[in-house]
Amino acid sequence: MNEPQQKWTETIEAKHSLLDLQLKEVWRYKDLVYMFVKRDFISSFKQTILGPIWFFINPVFTTITYLIIFGKFAKLSTDGAPGIIFYLAGVTLWNYFSGALLATSATFTGNANIFGKVYFPRLVIPISIVLSNLMRLSVQFLLFLIVWVYYTANHQISPNWWILATPLLIVLMALFSLGVGMIFSALTTKYKDLSMLLTFGVSLLMYATPVIYPVSMLPGYFRNIAKFNPLTGIFECFKYGWLGVGDFSPVMLMVSSCIILVLLFLGIVIFNKVEKTFMDTV
């Protein structure tokens, strides 16, 4: 005798598509975002002697090192800008990008214990990482402003109205680190050695980005290639606005924006796909 077929009263299934960022749900968990940002900020200096002063020590010593190696010995061009403010501008932006990218790339592997215990929008983690690194950027940017005011008052640099594009540049860097970070975060759930490759790749990327040199010093062929680096337009625009130097054009920023949006789109798709099954591979 055949048993009557059972009918389910409720079905639980994923309701969001691969392109759904769940921003409304993320907003509902804004207190959790704040908690993660606070946790990351405090944990960076827990059991340290100097605490937040490390935010200043890092760019200061890095700038001095670049000034000696690339300014005095290699004698790389700074397009006429004083070496200290030129290198400090590049270091300030690069520290934010590299820090946010590397931390975001460990979203799944570094938080698997939390993801396996309680539900919340997974996008909360990479967003909180980008925001916590933004706090570090604000502290280091204060140091840059102090040095910038000194050189501006002494008429050694000539800033212009492109300074107003700074918030846009920071947003673009945040989106770039978020997009690429989510891609590598998803891939490292299955291929863990990619995290080491990314760390090495970020180090190389710095030398392919106008951090320690201006684009104008590159030969024509390499200059054209450099413009396809999404960070080139951002760094050149920043230095052009704040220091009044650099080979910058709005087209470079448009190219950077387009590439970043494409990478962000890919990051969203891959992240949303992997978050449903990553606990099986981590």
Q: What is the pLDDT of residues 32-87, one digit of tens each?
A: 888 888 877 777 666 565 666 777 888 999 999 999 999 889 889 999 899 999 99
Cβ pair 241, 160 in contact under 8 A: yes
Q: What is the secondary structure of the chain as a DSSP string?
A: -PPPPP--S--------TT---HHHHHHTHHHHHHHHHHHHHHTTTT-SSGGGHHHHHHHHHHHHHIIIIIIIS----TTS-HHHHHHHHHHHHHHHHHHHHHHTTHHHHSHHHHTT----TTHHHHHHHHHHHHHHHHHHHHHHHHHHHHHHTTS----GGGGGHHHHHHHHHHHHHHHHHHHHHHHTT-TTHHHHHHHHHHHHHHTTTTSS-GGGS-HHHHHHHTTSHHHHHHHHHHHHHHS-S---HHHHHHHHHHHHHHHHHHHHHHHHHTTTGGGT-
> Residue 101: exposed, middle, or buried by beta-carbon count in 10 A (0-12, 13-18, 19+)?
buried
Q: For residues 241 and 160, what is the distance between their CA atoms, to the nearest angstrom?
A: 5
Output 211 or 1, whichever has higher pLDDT. 211
CA atoms within 13 A on the CB side of 58: 19
> Residue 266: exposed, middle, or buried by beta-carbon count in 10 A (0-12, 13-18, 19+)?
middle
Q: For residues 65 and 96, what is the distance between their CA atoms, to the nearest angstrom?
A: 18
Q: Using one digit for the tens of pLDDT, what is the confidence trace for 190-206?
A: 777 788 888 899 999 99
Residue 280 has pLDDT above 50, yes or no: no
Q: Using one digit for the tens of pLDDT, what is the confidence trace for 88-99?
A: 999 999 999 999
Q: Please report the pLDDT score of residue 259 as a whole number.
A: 94
Q: Please report the pLDDT score of residue 110 as a whole number.
A: 74
Q: Please report the pLDDT score of residue 20 as a whole number.
A: 60
Please give the single-letter amino acid code of residue 57: I
Output 14 or 217, whichever has higher pLDDT. 217
Q: Quote the pTM value.
A: 0.86
Most confident region among 106-120, 122-136, 167-181, 190-204 by mean pLDDT: 167-181
Residue 278 has pLDDT above 60, yes or no: no
Q: Please report the pLDDT score of residue 21 as a whole number.
A: 60
CA atoms within 13 A on the CB side of 278: 27
